[in-house]
């Protein structure tokens, strides 16, 4: 049996979950892995006297983790790309393995941190989708496959908001306030509802499974602020649910990578992932469709993934086995180009909700404007006005159209005097 000594950076929810799981399941982990994990040192900005540190030494200086010769590996659980980045860089320089749950630092600096020996010194299962083993699923479980596409619900806050809007008929602002009260959303929720959190996670999946590079700048990112209760209800009438998705697709032109709300058929597996749960559906040539689903956040759920990595690193300390990163089929070996398809060239069907004045001939004007850009209509809804002089929503599902043409058509529609308010546009998810 082997004892591995751990240093922990941070003492928040995830770190406390790590301590609790080691306390509760340490013997089980030893029996399964042959490794005993012992927490020897913890460094955090402030002490928490109410937390049992299991005999670990405590300090407020992260450098104490780097300078402690007793430590075999470090768990970085503080987040952000400031002090956390410095800690991971310092550990890499000293050859100390690190487990991190930090999606931001990987999305922004993954190429650097995984360069050279970094592949074997850094593990980050908990950085994407909490307890779901999607990193290992892609990097090892599907290593024999060519990945064709990936669709993910990878932000629990957005999923909770859309689900509650649909099930309870509660407007966006009220559901957001409820999510904040329950701890599902931060006091400043912009990181979640503007799509940044999901984009960080998708960048990691993009690099691991499709391109071999971590580049957040290549993603198209949209949040959910513009989606209203009316859109949720119209989508349901059309046979869809609205989900905030991360989408990656291998195409002949390159790799599409985008984060945005999308209409998903109501009978699809992803459409029925509810509450704060996460799910990632991967399509590959050998395994076909595989679905990974589970808690995407929470102290013990995330701690489970952290400790999975810690045990893997503990077994790896005397071997050269590292995390496998697939190389891009269409990446240029000379300039390391990711060959990400520009969003203007992405083709998708679209949901449009167009608030118009209530008078004859309006629908014909709308369809005429769309026809100027060769956009055809797959389905339409037009209800009666809610009251005198109230706008009438014309809801359309278009056939597939290139993004650039759709944007031009929207500009044309918004210039019509019959359009009474902002048009809501939501893409329809590609076929899974």
Q: How far apart are CA 89 and CA 118, in angstroms?
A: 10
Q: For the residues 321-342, what does the mean pLDDT come to? A: 52
pLDDT reported for residue 93: 92
Asked if 2-132+299-316 and 345-428 have one fold, the answer is no
Catalytic residue check, 213: no
Catalytic residue among 201, 213, 241, 243: 201
The fold of 138-295+330-343 is: Dihydrodipicolinate Reductase; domain 2 (3.30.360)
pLDDT band at 327 (very low <50, low <70, confident <90, very high): very low
Q: So where are the chain's domains? A: 2-132+299-316, 138-295+330-343, 345-428
Residue (of 229, 226, 231) closest to 195 by Cα position:
226
Residue (of 94, 95, 58, 89) closest to 76 by Cα position:
89
How many CA atoms lie within 13 Å of 321's alpha carbon, on the beta-carbon side? 10
Query: How far does CA 116 lie from the centroid of its chain?
Result: 26
| Model pLDDT for residues 129-151, shown as the tens digit of each residue | 888 899 989 988 898 889 999 99
The residue whose two tokens read 């994990």 is: 37
| Model pLDDT for residues 376-417, shown as the tens digit of each residue | 999 999 887 766 678 899 999 999 999 999 999 999 999 999
pLDDT band at 335 (very low <50, low <70, confident <90, very high): very low
Class of domain 2-132+299-316: alpha beta
Residue (of 78, 137, 136, 68) closest to 102 by Cα position:
78
Is the pLDDT score of 321 beyond 50? Answer: no
CB–CB of 221/128 below 8 Å? no
Is the pLDDT score of 78 beyond 70? Answer: yes
pLDDT band at 61 (very low <50, low <70, confident <90, very high): very high
Residue (of 139, 287, 273) closest to 204 by Cα position:
139
Class of domain 345-428: alpha beta
């Amino acid at each position: 049996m082997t004892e591995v000594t751990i240093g922990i950076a941070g003492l928040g929810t995830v770190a406390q979950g790590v301590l609790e799981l080691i306390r509760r399941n340490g013997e089980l982990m030893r029996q399964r892995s042959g490794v005993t994990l012992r927490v020897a040192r913890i460094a955090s900005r402030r002490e928490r006297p109410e937390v049992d540190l299991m005999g670990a030494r405590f300090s407020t200086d992260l450098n104490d983790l780097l300078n402690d010769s007793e430590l075999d590996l470090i768990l970085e659980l503080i987040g952000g790309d400031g002090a956390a980045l410095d800690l991971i860089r310092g550990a890499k320089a000293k050859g100390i393995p690190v487990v991190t749950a930090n999606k931001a630092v990987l999305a922004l600096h993954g190429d650097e941190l995984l360069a050279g020996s970094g592949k074997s010194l850094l593990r980050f299962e908990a950085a994407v989708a909490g307890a779901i083993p999607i990193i290992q699923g892609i990097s090892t479980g599907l290593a024999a496959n060519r990945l064709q596409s990936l669709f993910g619900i990878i932000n629990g806050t957005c999923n909770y908001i859309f689900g509650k809007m649909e099930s309870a008929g509660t407007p966006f602002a009220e559901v957001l306030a409820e999510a904040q009260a329950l701890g599902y959303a931060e006091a400043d929720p912009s990181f979640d509802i503007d799509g940044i959190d999901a984009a960080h996670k998708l960048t990691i999946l993009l690099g691991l499974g499709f391109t071999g590079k971590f580049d957040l700048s290549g993603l198209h990112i949209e949040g959910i602020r513009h989606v209203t209760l009316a859109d949720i209800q119209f989508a349901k009438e059309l046979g869809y649910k609205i989900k905030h998705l991360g989408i990656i697709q291998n195409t002949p032109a390159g790799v599409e990578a985008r984060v945005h709300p999308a209409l998903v058929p109501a009978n699809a597996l992803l459409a029925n992932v509810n509450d704060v749960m996460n799910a990632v559906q991967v399509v590959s040539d050998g395994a076909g469709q595989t679905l990974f689903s589970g808690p995407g956040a929470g102290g013990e759920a995330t701690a489970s993934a952290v400790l999975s990595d810690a045990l893997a690193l503990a077994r790896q300390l005397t071997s050269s086995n590292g995390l496998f990163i697939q190389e891009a089929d269409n990446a240029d070996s000379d300039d390391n180009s990711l060959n990400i398809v520009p969003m203007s060239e992405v083709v998708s069907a679209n949901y449009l909700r167009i608030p118009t004045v209530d008078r004859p001939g309006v629908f014909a004007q709308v369809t005429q404007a769309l026809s100027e850009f060769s956009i055809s209509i797959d389905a339409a809804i037009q209800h009666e006005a809610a009251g005198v002089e109230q706008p009438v929503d014309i809801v359309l599902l278009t056939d597939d159209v290139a993004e650039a043409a759709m944007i031009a058509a929207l500009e044309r529609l918004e210039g019509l005097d019959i359009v009474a308010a902002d048009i809501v546009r939501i893409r329809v998810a590609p076929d899974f």
